[in-house]
């Protein structure tokens, strides 16, 4: 089985990674840990702010990937990592198709009501656009 684990470094992503350690995966299975560095538009589109923010995100990305990789360490499976630039929703879908994965695994923040409509949801987009199975872990109470 080929699995794409999308992580943003949140507690929700950590729980999704931890869930994978409970599956009966073998050395024939593959997990790709993905972090997408999102672009943040500025009202004035000031290049120096964008450049500084992107540099900070690039410095943090290996730590985010490392956290997920540490959680997955007990697994006897092939684990790779990837950091890409772009929008998380489209980046996850595009990579899942490129890698021909069987399942996308990710966490969900559980935003509800009007807030969810205004903010949007990466997990909702993935559910609606993925060609493969999607497992969304939600933080329990």
pLDDT, tens digit, for every residue of 81-101? Answer: 999 999 999 999 999 999 999
Q: How far apart are CA 120 and CA 83, in angstroms?
A: 22
Q: Is residue 111 very low, low, confident or very high in pLDDT (cuts 50, 70, 90)?
A: low
Hey, what CATH class is 2-138 in? alpha beta
CA–CA separation, 38 and 35 (whole Å)? 9
Report how far residue 39's alpha carbon sits from residue 113's, in angstroms, rounded to the nearest whole number: 26
Please say if the pLDDT value at position 43 is more than 70.
no
At residue 100, the pLDDT reads 97
When pLDDT is cut at 50, 70 and 90, the band that residue 17 belongs to is: very high
Question: How many whole angstroms separate alpha carbon 21 and alpha carbon 16?
Answer: 9
Q: State the maximum Cα–Cα separation within the chain, in Å, rounded to a whole number.
A: 50
Confidence of residue 3 (pLDDT cuts 50, 70, 90): very high
Q: Place 141 in a pLDDT band, splitting at 50, 70 and 90.
A: low
pLDDT at 56: 83
Q: Which residue has the higher pLDDT, 113 or 86?
A: 86
How does the average pLDDT of the chain come out, rounded? 86
User: For residue 122, what pLDDT is reported?
Assistant: 87
């Amino acid at each position: 089985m080929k699995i794409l684990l999308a992580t943003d470094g949140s507690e929700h992503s950590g729980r999704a990674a931890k869930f994978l350690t409970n599956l009966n995966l073998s050395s024939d299975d593959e997990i790709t840990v993905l972090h997408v560095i999102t672009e943040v538009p500025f009202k004035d589109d000031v290049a120096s702010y964008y450049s500084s923010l992107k540099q900070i995100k690039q410095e943090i990305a290996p730590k985010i990937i490392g956290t997920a990789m540490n959680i997955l360490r007990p697994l006897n499976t092939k684990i790779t990592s990837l950091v890409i630039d772009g929008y998380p929703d489209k980046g996850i879908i595009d990579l899942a198709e490129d890698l021909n994965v069987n399942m996308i695994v990710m966490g969900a923040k559980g935003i509800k009501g009007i807030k969810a409509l205004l903010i949007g949801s990466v997990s909702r987009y993935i559910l609606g656009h993925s060609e493969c199975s999607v497992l969304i872990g939600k933080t329990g109470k």
